[in-house]
Each structure stands twice: as structure tokens, then as C-alpha cells.
Structure 1
Amino acid sequence: MTATPTPRFSEALVASEATQKYPERMKRFGRLVGSWAVTGTRLNEATGEWSERSFVWQMEFILDGRAVQDIEIETRLSHPTGDETVATAIRVYDPLAGAWRVSYFSPLTGEYCHLVATPYRYGIRQDGTRTDGKPIRWNFTSITATSYRWEGWVSSDEGVTWLLIEHNEATRIH
């Protein structure tokens, strides 16, 4: 019996295209597949001060094209390679719910969020809960082939009011 070569982990994870099973639904996040240069601002909720940030955001189809995964890469002089992957999100289309299930992980900051994504106006709205239990809302807006805007909101009163805590603007690299 001849052994079949086992694909490398990355080869088994990354898919070259979206599944054809749900072609229109896969376009929701599929149009963001690629690499993006992102600049933005983030609010330090404890101090009330805003800080600027920039990073590269890469998104690929995964799991035989049934999901998409992104990674956030920041340049850090203190990191041995100069670049550090600081966060990842996995977005899986759930045909039974008719929505995308999103899980975000940032071991660097200790933030782990779970959201549900649905169409919203001309973009994508993701509603969920962050690690401290507060409701969050992450919106992709103004999505084109070469750019998008993203805003992160949090609520301290169960969604009655919302506080903007992050704003990002992205330009496609490839």
C-alpha cells in the first residue's frame, strides 16, 4: 500500500476560491479576500485618548472555500522578524441561520469576540459580544474593489447607546 502524501497545514487550510454551493452568500466577505493597507484610530476606553495605528490585513478563503479567515499584521521593531500577527478572525457562512458566524481572536490583547454578520445597507454589520460581555457592533461600509471603511462600536447599556472605539480605512494592496 502506497502512502498518500499529506498536504501541509497551510495547503489544507487555504482554498483558492469560494465554494460554489452558496456563490452569492460567499461574496459577502469574499469580495474582501486579498491584502489591504489599513490606517485608523483606536480609543483607549480607560483614558479617553485616541491613538493612530496602521497594519496589513490579509484575508483568504479557507476550509474548501466555505469560510474566510483574516490576519492582522503590525510592524513592530521589538519583534524578531519585524512583523507580528496580532489577531485573526474566522468567518463561516451558516446556511441554517442564513448568516455568517464570526470569531475574532487577539491573544496579544486578550480580546476574544463572537459575532453574527448580516447585510447592512451597502455593507456588512457584525453584532456580538466582546470578552468583557459588552455588546459590540463592527461595520464594514463603503466597500469597493479597492477600499473599505470599518468601524467598531461598543455599548455599556445593552445597546441603548453606542460608543465609537475604532475607525479604519483600507486600500487594497492586491
Structure 2
Amino acid sequence: MTTSVPRFTEALIAPGPTPEYPGRMRRFGQLVGTWAAKGSRLDEASGAWRERDFTWIVEFVLDGRAVQDIEVVVSDTHPSGFETVAMAVRVYDPHAGAWRVSYFAPKIGEYCHLVATPHRNGLRQDGTGTDGRPIRWNFVSITDDAYTWEGWVSDDEGATWLLVEHNEATRIR
């Protein structure tokens, strides 16, 4: 018996969401595609905001039971012309009724784990940052063609929150 071995991307990327949880898979599934994003990030030490442009690519993975995204930026030094700077995997946990989120940005040393639930007309992701502080990442607005995302951090266990990142994006695919 001969079996073919799939390539990594063929085994990872799914053609769509699992049919087991259609409504719940839509929560992050609505973001599947490619986005041109403009972001601003607060340097907490100086109080200065830094602007940045990036492309955000989102796909269904793990037989449609999860959504994975990567953040890429233009790079003059990388042979491909771009550099992948971060990725996240969002897996729906039917036992918890929530999404488990893991985010990795090794170049800046950021590794975060969050739990995501619906919130107003978007999604709220609550967790802990690499430095141990509570973080809250909100998709505050999602439409077919655009989204707005905010990153918050708390220095007092969630009593108050400081906005440290803001991204706006438009769909390009």
C-alpha cells in the first residue's frame, strides 16, 4: 500500500472551519484572509508611540478546529523580502466554551497566553503577558472588510488598564 505524505502546509492549513461548531468557529474565522494593518505601540518607558505597518495573514488550521495568524513586515535584509515577526494560534475549546490563544513574537521576547470570549461587537482576549502583568487584547470592531484591535495592560491586577497598542486593518484578500 502506497501512501503519500503531505507537505507541512497541506497538513496544517484547512480549507475551512470544522462543521462541529459553526457559530463558534465564525468568531475568529471571520478574520481568515489577508489584512493590511497600521499599528501604533506605546513605549511605556518613554511614553512615545511608534507607528508601524504590517500584513496580517490568517488561516484555518488543525482540520478547521483552530485559526492561526502570522504578522509579516517588509524586510530589505531578508531574502524573501519580508520577515515573519509574530504568530498566534487560537484553538476553540468546546469543554470551556472559549478560545485558547497562544501568541509568540520571539524577536521582541513576547510570549502570551490568553482566553478569548465574545464581547460586544468584537472579541475579548484576557491573559498574562511575558512580564506577568494582566493583558487584554480586544477586537473592538470587526466587519467584512476592516477590524480595529486594542492591546491593554494592567499594573494593578485589572483594576485599571493602560492602552499600549492600537491596530486598524483593511482586508486585502
Residue 78 (structure 1) shift = 2.8
**SS of match in other structure, 2:9:** helix
Alignment of 1:1-40 (within 5 A): 2-40=1-39
Letter in 1 for 2:52: R
Q: Deviations over 1:127-146 (max 9, x none)?
A: 00011100000000221000
Q: Return the letter of the residue paired with 2:128.
A: T
CA displacement 1:51-82 (0-9 Å, x = unmatched): 10010000000000000000000112232322
Q: Match for residue 88 of structure 2?
A: 89
TM-score normalised by the chain length of structure 1 = 0.97
| Rounded Cα–Cα distance in structure 2 between residues aligned with 1:161 and 1:141 | 18
TM normalised by structure 2 equals: 0.98
Distance in 1 (CA, whole Å) between partners of 2:104 and 2:9 is 19
Q: Which runs of 4+ in 1 moved over 4 A?
A: none
Query: Structure 1: which 5+ residue stretches go unaligned?
Result: none
Instruction: Give the distance between the partners of 2:14 and 2:80, measured in 1 at CA.
Output: 26
Q: Secondary structure at the match of 2:143?
A: coil
Alignment correspondent of 1:135: 134
- Aligned equivalents of 1:141 and 1:162: distance in 2? 15
Over aligned residues, Cα RMSD in angstroms? 0.7
Please give the alpha-carbon distance, in whole angstroms, between the structure 2 residues aligned to 1:78 and 1:7.
31
- Output one character per residue of 1:71-121: Cα deviation in whole Å (capped at 9) or x when no partner: 000112232322000000000000000000000001111100000000000
**SS in structure 1 of the partner of residue 142 of structure 2:** coil
The alpha-carbon deviation at position 47 of structure 1 amounts to 1.4
Paired residue secondary structure (1:24): helix
CA distance in 2, matches of 1:76, 1:138: 27
Give distance in 2, aligned partners of 1:90 and 1:68. Answer: 6
Q: CA deviation at 1:46?
A: 1.6
Residue number in structure 2 paired with 1:150 = 149
What is the aligned partner in structure 2 of residue 47 from structure 1?
46
Give the residue type in structure 2 aligned to 1:10.
T
| 2:168 pairs with 1:172 | no
SS class of match (2:132)? coil
How many angstroms does 1:3 deviate by?
2.5
1:107 aligns with 2:106: yes
Structure 2: where are the runs of 5+ without partners? none
